[in-house]
Structure 1
Amino acid sequence: MESTSQDFPRRLPRGTHGLDRDVVEASQRARLLEAVGRAVAERGYAAATIDDVVRRAGVSKKTFYEHFADKEECFLAAYEAAGEQLLERVREAHANQDDWLERTRAQISAYLRWLAAEPALARVFLIEVAAAGPQALERRERLRDRYAELIRERRREAQPRLPIEVFHAVVAAVDDVVVRHIREHGAAELPALEPVLLYLHVALLAGPRVAAESAEL
């Protein structure tokens, strides 16, 4: 879920290695976050165990409990890290475009490509999160709210009085289409949904005629 390809080695050398403690702990945490995503993707949230996580991360159970109280806490941290990464990708896509329609197209493309690049983790992010309990669902709603606010901010000049609930509806509609596609076809071909999701965005915010022209449906 959270990238481990920063400055941290995926496996630390055994014994004395001379690495700063902060570097060691950051490496362990990053590997645990990625490992819990992989474990849940392969086995489902309910079946995945801490043993599965530490085996994939290459750390001991003792190390796991130095970072997290239980599987749920580890999963929630991984989910939030993935959410931050996704929002950053979307912001970057927005920043590179001036026209509203092109910003919307770029944002949708960034979202779908991010999910398609990691099909197993896309399933975790959008489907398995529902099995992780009320705290996970609360975090999902917070992430959706931030995504809706991001879309609203980009549309504020043209439609300043449009209520936030409209943008919540856009996000909910997008998620529903994407989740259905993942369940039925997997995540690898998600970028093919770009015209459909562009139509949804524009139809709800600017009307069906503009949407049909923009999405070329």
Structure 2
Amino acid sequence: MSGVERLPRGRHKLSREDVAGRQRDRMLAALADVLTERGYANTPVAAVIERAGVSRETFYQQFASKQDCFIAAFEDAVGDIATALFTELGASEGTPLERFDRGLRVYLATLAAEPAKARLFLVETYAAGPGAIARRAEIQAQFVDGIATLFGARTKSKRAVCEALVGAIVALVTARIVSDNVAGLAALRAPIVELAGATLVKR
């Protein structure tokens, strides 16, 4: 697991809340890692517990089930990705296309830096049940809203263009994640920006 600290050995001065928070982070990271290797359907709670280095009791103190843990990991991944993306889309500097370009660059870089989280968010959601799928659709709709606001897409036809653009981004990114071609994510930036410029920028 990358980027998640284990608890110090022996006595420590961490509060119960700190301990629980670190354990939770380890379990969420462990779930994302194991999903990458085994897929949602083939990932038992036992595998997450073993990877995280926690007890079964600790797991069920925080999560009611594997799906509950998945939803928490999904929201964690969404938080990282959405913060990176919407910070740039909502910035005031530059033209809409320049801000879209910056947001897309940060989005792609965030996915490349956390491929396990990217796979959880983009791929494994479909195996995690209707609730997870609905939440993913909600996030994608927010992405569409952000792009429509950025480019002033107020008509139904322009909104549909924004939906198509987001759909294209998701499809292209997901294909790279599924094929473990994380290095190929950055190369998507230029053609996607060109597509946005051709379809959403007034000539």
Map of 2:175 onto structure 1: 180
Report if the CA contact (8 A) 1:113-1:191 is conserved: yes
Alpha-carbon deviations, 1:127-183, whole Å to 9, x = none? 122111111111110110111112122223xx4445644422221121112222333
Residue 146 (structure 1) aligned with residue 142 (structure 2): yes
Which of 37, 52, 57 pairs up with 2:32? Answer: 37
1:128-167 aligned at under 5 Å gives the runs 128-156=124-152, 159-161=153-155, 164-167=159-162
Query: Deviations for 1:173-199, whole angstroms, at most 9, x for unmatched residues?
Result: 211122223334622221011112112
Summarize the alignment of residues 64-213 of structure 1 with structure 2, pairs less than 5 Å apart.
Answer: 64-94=59-89, 95=91, 97-156=93-152, 159-161=153-155, 164-184=159-179, 186-206=181-201
Residue identity in the other structure for 1:52: A
Whether the aligned pair in 2 keeps the contact of 1:42 and 1:120 (CA below 8 Å) is no
Aligned equivalents of 2:124 and 2:109: distance in 1? Answer: 19
CA distance in 2, matches of 1:3, 1:203: 39
Moved more, 142-151 or 91-100: 91-100
Q: Distance in 1 between matches of 2:180 and 2:18?
A: 40
- Measured after TM superposition, the shift of residue 96 of structure 1 is 6.7
Aligned pairs, number:
201
In the TM superposition, what is the alpha-carbon distance from 1:124 to its structure 2 partner? 2.5
State whether residues 81 and 107 of structure 2, in contact with CA within 8 Å, keep that contact through their aligned partners in structure 1. yes
**20-29 or 193-202, which deviates more:** 193-202
Name the amino acid aligned to 1:123. R
Q: Contact 1:80/1:139 (CA < 8 Å) preserved in 2?
A: no
Q: Please give the alpha-carbon distance, in whole angstroms, between the structure 1 residues aligned to 2:31 and 2:41.
A: 12
Structure 2 Cα separation of the partners of residues 87 and 45 of structure 1: 23
* 1:215 matched residue in structure 2: none
Identity of aligned residues (%): 38
One of 58, 82, 98 as aligned partner of 1:63:
58
User: Residues 2 and 33 of structure 1 are in contact (CA less than 8 Å); yes or no, is this contact kept in structure 2?
Assistant: no
Q: For 1:27 and 1:185, how far apart are their aligned partners in 2?
A: 28
